[in-house]
Structure 1
Amino acid sequence: MAPASAAVDTSGTPSTSSGDRRPARVSCLKCRSTDHQVWECPRCTPEEAARLLRELHERREARRSEGARKFNIVDPTKRLTSDNRGSVAAAIDGIAVTALMLDTGANTSLVARGVLEALVQTGTVLRVNPVAGITLSSAGKEAINVTSIVTFDEVVLIT
């Protein structure tokens, strides 16, 4: 294992023996000599040098665009077709509800108080357990102190 003080170069730029960060000299595109560049090549006309440089540039651009991630851009002038803000149709203990932030892969999910109130209105008996010392916090919001946990026998997301 390397000592903690060892520096690792991850820049990808080769360094010279003096330690400066200059790129390694590339070979001439015409004759492959490292003594000169294509625009200085005695075997190459200026027109051919320009063509070789243009082709090199096109190859690099093609490689760059192949590896680039493509993103969908949001158009702020278009209205959303739905007021759905991440809510999901779900059935909790057999009762249909619209809930936020349910995660079937998690051991615990945050459920809005309105979901619990809707379940109580249907006559569902909730198993509420008091807890202490649990705080939820999110970026830019005040912390929320959790005072109780409700356990459901079954949560089904309707897709």
Structure 2
Amino acid sequence: MKDVIERAIALRRVEKHEESRALLSDLLRDPEHKTQAHLNIAWSFDSEGKENEAIPHYKECLKGHLSKEDRFNALLGLASTLRCLGHFEEALPYFQTLSDEYPDSEAVKPFFAMCLYNCGQPKKAVEMLLSTLLSTTNSDEILAYSAALSLYSEDIERTW
């Protein structure tokens, strides 16, 4: 069955999305492989620009057992897809779960910040982006102001 998933991934990579999903659909009835099938079907829909169709597959795969990496990718895929479709409030708890379960992942933070902004929390969004910038930049010009930026990352509205 693993070779079926690998073939489906190869088809998705060359944008043969329907063929990829057709291979995976047989695995949806296989308890051992349905989680991976759902995840790869979600990715196929997402990469084809059919985000609405991806959502139920992301949700289904998250009900099963996933490796740590696959769980991260499924959560980020679902949260990002929900956000880009304008389902900001629904996306927010998935971003929070990502932040809680994968606190060292810098990749989550810009997407989470965008969702916070979309949910009417611009202060928290900017603070998160500043904190991420400070922890990831190599820019000497930005690092020269790290003390001030660090204070603002804790409270963007701070004044003296």
Query: What TM-score results when the alignment is normalised by the length of structure 2?
Result: 0.26
The structure, 1 or 2, with the larger RCO (C-alpha pairs under 8 Å, 6+ apart) is: 1
Comparing both structures, which one devotes a greater share of its residues to strand?
A: 1
Comparing both structures, which one devotes a greater share of its residues to helix?
A: 2
